[in-house]
C-alpha cells in the first residue's frame, strides 16, 4: 500500500466500465453453472464409455453414436420413449378437453354450486398428503381393470387438471360474451358455441395450458413408477432411466444413462428453443390463477 | 335459461367427477386409515390414535423432518437472494437480456428425476466427471465422496438450487414489471441514484409479491423429494431422507434402503402429519411476515 494510491481517483467512465465488467462476469458465471449439466450430458452421450469414466473431458474426443443404439435397442429405451409419448399426448388432450369444458361452463353460466366447485379446484392445488393418495388411486384402477395399462396413469394425470383449469379461466375473460349471444341468435347452441367460437378463440391459452400438461406428464416420475412396479414393459422414460441407477453395475452403465437422459430431455429442449416464452407463461399463468 | 344450466352441469361433470374420485376420495381414504393398523392385506384393525403415538416415538420420522428443514433452508437461503438479484439485473435494459432469461429458466423445465441421474453422472465419486476434473487440475488430492455421508446433503441441495433459481427469477421479474414506471421517474427527478431507487422504490413496492413468492417457495421446498429419491434414496444412513421420501418408503417399499413391509395405516397418519407440518410452517411464515409488514 503506497501513498500515491490514496490520491488516485477513478474517472467516472472507468468506474462504470468496471461495474459493467463485474456485472457481466457474474451473469455469465451463473449462466455457465446452470448450463453445465445440460451441455455435459448432451456432449457426454457421444463419448465412449472409457472416455466417460476416465477421460476428464467435456468435449468428446471421438463422436460415436453407439450409446444411443445400445440404449435404444439393448436397454429398452425405444419402449420407454413410446410409453412416454403415449402418456404425455393422451394426458395433454384429455386435460385440455376436461379443463376447457368446465372453464367454459363456469365462466359463462351462473349455476348452483359454482363457488363450491371453484373452492374444490383450488383446494386440490394446495392440499398434499404426498404418496398416500397413490394407494387408493391404484386400488381404484384395479377395480376398473386399468392397472395393467398406461390408461390408469393417464386418467390420474388428467384428474389433476386444476392448474390448467385456472390458466384457462384467466383467459376466458378476454372472450366477449356478446359473441356467444350473437352466435346463439344465428342458431348455434351451447355446444356449437363452445366448439366453433370459444375453442378457436382460446387457442393461445390452450397452447399454454397444453404445454403445461405435456411438460408435467412428460416429467412425471412417481406415479408411473408405482403403476409399473409389476409391469416393467409399461415404464416411461424417467422410470426406466432411474432404474439404471439402482440396477446391477450402475457405475458401468454411465454411457447408457447419458444417452437415456438425453432422450428424456431432448424433446423439451427442442420445444424450448423455439418457444421459451410459452414455457415461462406456464409458470406465470399457474401462479396468477 | 334453465336449459343452459343443464348444459353447464354437463360440461362441469367430467372435471368434477375426476376431481372427486381421484382427488378427494383418496384424501378421505387416508383420513379413515390413519386410525387403523393396516398393512395392505388382511383385515384393518382399528387402533384409534395408536399411529400418532407411534409417530411421536418414531426417531426416523423426526430425523427426516430435521433433514427436510436443513434441505429447505439450504435451498431457500441461496435460491431466493440469487433469483432476486438476477431478476433485478434482468429487469433493466441490458444487451442479450432475453437470451440470459431463457438460459436461466432452462433448468426448471426438466424432470427432477432425470436431472438427478445427470447429477449422479457428475457427482458420482467413483468415476464422476466432477472428481475427474478436480483431480485433473489438481484442485483436490483425492476424489471427494460427494454422495457419502459428509457431502450427500450438500449435493442434493446444490441440485435443488440449480433447478429452482430460474423459476423464482421469473416470478420476481413478473413482480418487478408490476411496479409503475412513474415511481422511478419521480425518483430520478428527485436525484435518486440506482441504489436509492432499489432501496426506496423497488424493495418496498415488491413487498407483497415477495411475501407470496417466499410462501410458495417454502411449501415447494418442503415437499420436494423426487430428485433425492433417485440420487441417494435417502441414504447414506438416512442422511438425506426428507419427510415425504420417508413417507413414500412406508407406502411403497422399493429399491434402495427398504423398510420391508408396506404400512398403509401408519403411512396415512404420517402423510397427514407431514401435511400439517407444511401447513404449520407456512402459517408461521405468513404471521411473521405480516408482523414485519406492520412494522415497516
Q: Give residue B169's pLDDT.
A: 95
Q: Is the pLDDT of residue A172 over 90?
A: no
- B interface test, pick of A106, A110, A120, A129 with most B CB neighbours within 10 Å: A129
CB–CB contact A23 B230 (8 Å): no
Residues of chain B neighbouring A34 (CB-CB closer than 8 A): 103-104, 106-107, 162, 165-166
**Contacts A–B by Cβ distance under 8 A:** 255
Q: Is the pLDDT of residue A7 over 60?
A: no
Number of domains in chain B: 1
Q: Give residue A159's pLDDT.
A: 95
The C-alpha cell that represents B206 in the structure block: 415488491
- A interface test, pick of B4, B8, B82, B241 with most A CB neighbours within 10 Å: B8
CA distance B254 to chain A (A): 9
The C-alpha cell that represents A93 in the structure block: 388432450
- Top-confidence residue, B268 or B150: B268
- Residue pair B234/B150 in contact (Cβ under 8 Å)? The answer is no
The C-alpha cell that represents A136 in the structure block: 387408493
Q: Give residue B208's pLDDT.
A: 84
Query: What are the CA-CA distances from residue B273 to residues A141, B247, B268, B276 (Å)?
Result: 27, 10, 9, 5
Q: Give residue A8's pLDDT.
A: 56
CATH number of domain containing B146? 1.10.3720.10
Q: Is the pLDDT of residue A264 over 80?
A: yes
Q: Give residue A53's pLDDT.
A: 66
Would you place residue B254 in the very low, low, confident or very high pLDDT band (cuts 50, 70, 90)?
Answer: low
Within-domain flag for B67 = yes
Mean pLDDT computed over A211-225: 93
Within-domain flag for A269 = no
Closest of B271, B243, B248 to residue B258, by C-alpha: B248
Q: Give residue B5's pLDDT.
A: 82
Q: Is the pLDDT of residue A6 over 60?
A: no
Q: Give residue B256's pLDDT.
A: 45
Mean pLDDT computed over B37-56: 86
CB–CB contact A37 B122 (8 Å): yes
Q: Give residue A10's pLDDT.
A: 62
SS3 call for B46:
strand
Q: Is the pLDDT of residue A190 over 90?
A: no
Within-domain flag for B105 = yes
Within-domain flag for B259 = yes
Q: Give residue B24's pLDDT.
A: 93
Mean pLDDT computed over B7-22: 94
For the stretch B124-146, pLDDT in tens is 877 778 888 888 887 777 778 88
Considering chain A, what is the average pLDDT of its residues?
86
- Top-confidence residue, A249 or A48: A48
Of B15, B107, B251, nearest to A134 by CB-CB distance is B251
Would you place residue B258 in the very low, low, confident or very high pLDDT band (cuts 50, 70, 90)?
Answer: very low
- Top-confidence residue, B273 or A57: B273
CB–CB contact A120 B19 (8 Å): yes
Mean pLDDT computed over B110-130: 86
Would you place residue B1 in the very low, low, confident or very high pLDDT band (cuts 50, 70, 90)?
Answer: low
Within-domain flag for B199 = yes
Question: pTM of the predicted model, to two decimals?
Answer: 0.88
Within-domain flag for A127 = yes
CATH number of domain containing A147? 1.10.3720.10
Within-domain flag for B200 = yes
CA distance A71 to chain B (A): 15
Residues of chain A neighbouring B230 (CB-CB closer than 8 A): 221, 242, 245
d(CA A200, CA A198): 6
CB–CB contact A251 B127 (8 Å): yes
Residues of chain B neighbouring A120 (CB-CB closer than 8 A): 16, 19-20, 24
Of B22, B82, B102, nearest to A276 by CB-CB distance is B102
Place of cell 420417508: B246
Within-domain flag for A45 = no
Q: Which residue of A has its CA nearest to B165?
A: A34
Share of chain B above pLDDT 90, in %: 52
Q: Give residue B181's pLDDT.
A: 85
Residues of chain B neighbouring A244 (CB-CB closer than 8 A): 117
- Top-confidence residue, B233 or B61: B61
Within-domain flag for B78 = yes
For the stretch A125-168, pLDDT in tens is 888 888 899 999 999 999 999 988 999 999 999 999 999 999 99
Of A31, A272, A280, nearest to B100 by CB-CB distance is A31
Closest of B212, B169, B216, B217 to residue B73, by C-alpha: B217
Closest of A211, A214, A209, A208 to residue A88, by C-alpha: A214
Q: Give residue B131's pLDDT.
A: 80
Within-domain flag for A132 = yes
- B interface test, pick of A57, A87, A130 with most B CB neighbours within 10 Å: A130
Q: Give residue B296's pLDDT.
A: 58
Of A131, A222, A280, nearest to B170 by CB-CB distance is A280
- Top-confidence residue, B266 or B292: B266
| Residues making up chain B, counted from first to last | 296
Of B104, B264, B272, nearest to A135 by CB-CB distance is B264
Within-domain flag for A69 = no
CA distance B131 to chain A (A): 8
* Local structure of residue A62 (DSSP, 8 states): S
CA distance B125 to chain A (A): 10
Q: Is the pLDDT of residue A171 over 70?
A: yes
For the stretch B197-229, pLDDT in tens is 888 888 888 888 888 899 999 999 999 899 999
Helix (H) or strand (E) segment spanning residue B96: none
Mean pLDDT computed over A62-91: 86
Q: Is the pLDDT of residue A101 over 90?
A: yes
Q: Which residue of A has its CA nearest to B275?
A: A129
CB–CB contact A242 B110 (8 Å): no
Residues of chain A neighbouring B252 (CB-CB closer than 8 A): 131, 134, 226, 229
Query: What range defines the domain where residue B94 resides?
Result: 58-295
Q: Give residue A282's pLDDT.
A: 81
CA distance B186 to chain A (A): 23
Q: Give residue A252's pLDDT.
A: 62
Least confident of B108-112, B171-175, B258-262: B258-262
Query: What range defines the domain where residue A183 resides?
Result: 75-243
- A interface test, pick of B117, B215, B228, B262 with most A CB neighbours within 10 Å: B117
SS3 call for B37:
strand
Mean pLDDT computed over A222-231: 89
Of B27, B89, B256, nearest to A127 by CB-CB distance is B27
Mean pLDDT computed over A267-284: 87
Show the DSSP H helices in chain B as ranges.
Answer: 2-19, 25-33, 50-57, 59-91, 97-105, 112-123, 129-136, 152-177, 181-189, 194-197, 203-223, 226-231, 243-251, 264-295
Considering chain B, what is the average pLDDT of its residues?
88
Within-domain flag for B77 = yes
Share of chain A above pLDDT 90, in %: 41
CB–CB contact B118 A245 (8 Å): no
Q: Is the pLDDT of residue A238 over 70?
A: yes
Instruction: Give the phi and the psi of residue B37 in degrees, each rounded to 5.
Output: -95, 110
- In sequence order, what E strands does A72-217 have? none
Within-domain flag for B35 = no
Q: Give residue B269's pLDDT.
A: 94
- A interface test, pick of B104, B113, B172 with most A CB neighbours within 10 Å: B113
Number of domains in chain A: 1
CA distance A2 to chain B (A): 31
Of B115, B230, B267, nearest to A132 by CB-CB distance is B267
Amino acid at each position: 500500500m503506497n501513498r500515491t494510491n490514496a490520491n488516485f481517483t477513478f474517472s467516472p467512465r472507468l468506474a462504470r466500465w468496471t461495474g459493467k465488467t463485474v456485472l457481466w462476469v457474474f451473469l455469465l458465471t451463473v449462466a455457465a453453472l446452470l448450463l453445465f449439466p445440460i451441455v455435459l450430458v448432451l456432449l457426454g452421450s457421444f463419448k465412449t464409455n472409457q472416455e466417460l469414466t476416465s477421460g476428464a473431458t467435456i468435449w468428446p474426443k471421438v463422436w460415436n453414436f453407439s450409446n444411443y443404439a445400445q440404449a435404444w435397442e439393448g436397454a429398452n429405451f425405444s419402449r420407454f420413449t413410446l410409453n412416454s409419448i403415449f402418456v404425455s399426448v393422451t394426458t395433454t388432450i384429455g386435460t385440455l378437453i376436461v379443463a376447457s369444458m368446465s372453464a367454459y361452463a363456469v365462466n359463462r353460466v351462473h349455476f348452483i354450486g359454482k363457488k363450491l366447485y371453484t373452492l374444490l379446484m383450488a383446494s386440490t392445488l394446495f392440499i398434499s398428503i404426498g404418496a398416500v393418495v397413490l394407494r387408493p388411486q391404484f386400488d381404484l384402477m384395479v377395480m376398473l381393470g386399468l392397472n395393467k395399462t398406461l390408461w390408469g396413469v393417464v386418467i390420474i394425470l388428467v384428474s389433476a387438471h386444476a392448474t390448467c383449469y385456472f390458466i384457462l379461466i384467466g383467459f376466458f375473460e378476454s372472450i366477449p360474451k356478446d359473441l356467444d349471444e350473437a352466435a346463439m341468435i344465428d342458431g348455434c347452441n351451447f355446444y356449437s358455441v363452445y366448439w366453433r367460437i370459444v375453442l378457436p378463440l382460446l387457442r393461445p391459452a390452450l397452447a399454454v395450458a397444453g404445454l403445461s400438461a405435456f411438460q408435467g406428464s412428460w416429467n412425471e416420475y412417481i406415479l408411473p413408477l408405482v403403476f409399473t412396479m409389476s409391469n416393467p414393459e409399461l415404464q416411461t422414460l424417467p422410470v426406466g432411466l432411474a432404474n439404471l441407477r439402482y440396477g446391477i453395475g450402475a457405475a458401468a452403465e454411465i454411457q447408457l444413462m447419458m444417452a437415456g437422459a438425453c432422450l428424456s430431455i431432448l424433446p423439451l429442449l427442442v420445444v424450448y428453443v423455439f418457444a421459451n416464452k410459452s414455457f415461462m407463461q406456464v409458470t406465470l399463468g399457474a401462479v396468477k390463477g | 335459461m334453465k336449459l343452459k344450466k343443464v348444459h353447464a352441469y354437463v360440461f362441469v361433470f367430467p372435471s368434477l367427477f375426476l376431481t372427486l374420485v381421484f382427488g378427494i376420495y383418496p384424501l378421505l381414504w387416508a383420513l379413515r386409515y390413519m386410525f387403523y393398523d393396516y398393512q395392505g392385506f388382511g383385515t384393518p384393525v382399528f387402533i384409534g390414535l395408536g399411529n400418532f403415538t407411534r409417530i411421536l416415538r418414531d426417531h426416523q420420522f423426526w430425523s427426516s423432518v430435521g433433514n427436510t428443514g436443513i434441505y429447505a433452508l439450504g435451498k431457500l437461503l441461496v435460491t431466493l437472494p440469487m433469483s432476486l438479484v438476477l431478476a433485478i439485473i434482468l429487469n433493466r435494459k441490458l444487451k442479450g437480456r432475453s437470451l440470459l432469461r431463457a438460459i436461466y429458466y432452462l433448468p426448471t423445465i426438466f424432470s427432477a428425476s432425470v436431472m438427478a441421474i445427470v447429477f449422479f453422472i457428475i457427482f458420482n465419486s467413483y468415476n464422476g466427471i466432477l472428481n475427474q476434473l478436480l483431480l485433473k487440475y489438481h484442485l483436490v488430492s483425492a476424489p471427494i465422496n460427494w454422495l457419502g455421508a459428509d457431502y450427500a446433503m450438500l449435493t442434493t441441495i446444490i441440485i435443488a438450487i440449480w433447478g429452482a433459481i430460474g423459476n423464482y427469477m421469473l416470478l420476481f421479474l413478473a413482480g418487478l414489471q408490476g411496479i409503475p414506471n412513474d415511481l422511478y421517474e419521480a425518483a430520478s427527478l428527485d436525484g435518486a441514484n440506482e441504489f436509492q431507487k432499489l432501496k426506496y422504490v423497488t424493495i418496498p413496492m415488491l413487498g407483497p409479491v415477495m411475501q407470496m413468492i417466499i410462501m410458495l417457495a417454502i411449501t415447494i421446498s418442503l415437499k420436494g423429494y423426487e430428485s433425492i429419491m433417485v440420487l441417494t434414496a435417502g441414504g447414506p444412513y438416512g442422511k438425506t431422507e426428507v419427510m415425504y421420501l420417508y413417507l413414500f418408503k412406508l407406502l411403497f417399499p422399493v429399491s434402495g434402503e427398504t423398510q420391508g413391509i408396506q404400512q398403509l395405516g401408519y403411512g396415512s397418519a404420517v402423510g397427514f402429519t407431514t401435511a400439517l407440518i407444511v401447513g404449520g410452517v407456512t402459517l408461521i411464515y405468513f404471521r411473521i411476515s405480516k408482523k414485519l409488514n406492520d412494522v415497516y
